[in-house]
Amino acid sequence: MTQCAGVVRSGESLTEASATIADLSGRFGGASTDPDRAEVANLLLVAAALAAAAIERTESRGAHTRDDHPTPDVDQCRRLVLTVGTG
């Protein structure tokens, strides 16, 4: 997440992060009674939500900095509401 979806990100790096998260979710995600596995699943869910929201926001705004679109875009001055599935 730090490397691909950190402080400065791009569409390309966010797509890479999303693919990695999907791969890891397939291997380690899902409900579990094991506390460590459940924690990993929760972290992957949060990572997926962050990556999805960052992909949708294709401009720089606030602490979200896109090096492929560095200036705010008045047309994107809105709230984003995304749903991230768990399976």
Distance from C-alpha of 12 to C-alpha of 80, rounded to nearest angstrom: 20
- Please state, in angstroms and rounded to a whole number, the distance separating the CA atoms of residues 58 and 17: 15
Q: What is the pTM of this model?
A: 0.77
Find where tokens 């397939």 sit: 26
- Alpha-carbon torsion angle 34, 37, 41, 46, nearest 10: 110
Per CATH, the architecture of 2-76 is what?
Answer: Up-down Bundle (1.20)
pLDDT tens digits for the chain (87 residues)?
999 999 899 999 999 999 999 999 998 877 788 899 989 999 999 999 999 988 988 888 777 788 898 877 787 777 767 676 655
For residues 39 and 44, what is the distance between their CA atoms, to the nearest angstrom? 9
Check residue 80 and give its pLDDT: 67
Half-sphere exposure of 53 (CA within 13 A, CB side): 16
What is the per-residue pLDDT for 86? 52
Q: Are 43 and 27 in contact (CB under 8 A)?
A: no
